[in-house]
């Protein structure tokens, strides 16, 4: 009896798909509900390449799809714009792995923050 080696066996390797979005934080000139200054929070807590966080805000009176952007210390620095929030919100609800990085922080009178958002599925 001959025992043969089956060379037609396929090995399946799952490679995650990554969707990358570049955008900027909106509402950075406003103060938070607790009176804290988003500009001060950005100045003190946000640097280029910092990991940031996103948090859905379904009770927002202006937009039920609102998504807050938080510093590494969980302080709000602004929001995603309406279109980006609608794109990202399903990933937040589905607990998709999301990496958010400050790509730039700049400005003279008013600081702004650029984001890179990576959705890993």
Q: Where are the domains of the chain?
A: 24-120
Q: Does 36 score more than 60 pLDDT?
A: yes
Return all residues near 103 (Cβ < 8 A) that are at least 6 apart: 22, 48, 49, 114, 115, 116
| pLDDT (average), residues 111-116 | 97
**Alpha-carbon distance 106 to 41, whole Å?**
14
Confidence of residue 108 (pLDDT cuts 50, 70, 90): confident
Q: Does 26 score more than 80 pLDDT?
A: yes
| pLDDT (average), residues 101-120 | 95
Q: How far is CA 46 from CA 71, 78, 101, 107, 117, in A?
A: 6, 12, 10, 13, 16
When the candidates are 2.40.10.230, 3.40.50.300, 3.30.70.2330, 3.40.50.150, the CATH number that belongs to 24-120 is 3.30.70.2330
Give per-residue pLDDT as tens, 80-97.
999 999 999 999 999 999
Give per-residue pLDDT as tens, 48-80.
999 999 999 999 999 999 999 999 999 999 999
Percentage of the chain lying above the pLDDT 70 cut = 88
Only one residue has tokens 């966080």, namely: 53
**Alpha-carbon distance 4 to 26, whole Å?**
64
At 36 the three-state DSSP class reads coil
Give per-residue pLDDT as tens, 8-18.
566 666 667 78
């Amino acid at each position: 009896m001959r025992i043969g080696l089956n060379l037609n066996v396929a090995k399946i390797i799952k490679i995650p798909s990554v969707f990358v979005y570049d955008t900027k934080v909106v509402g950075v000139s406003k103060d938070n509900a607790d009176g804290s200054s988003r500009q001060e929070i950005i100045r003190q807590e946000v640097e280029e390449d910092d990991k940031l966080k996103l948090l859905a805000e379904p009770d927002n009176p202006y937009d039920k799809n609102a998504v807050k952007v938080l510093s590494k210390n969980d302080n709000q620095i602004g929001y995603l714009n309406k279109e980006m929030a609608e794109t990202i919100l399903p990933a937040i609800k589905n607990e998709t792995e999301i990496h958010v990085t400050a790509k730039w922080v700049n400005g003279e009178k008013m600081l702004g923050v650029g984001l890179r958002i990576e959705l890993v599925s």
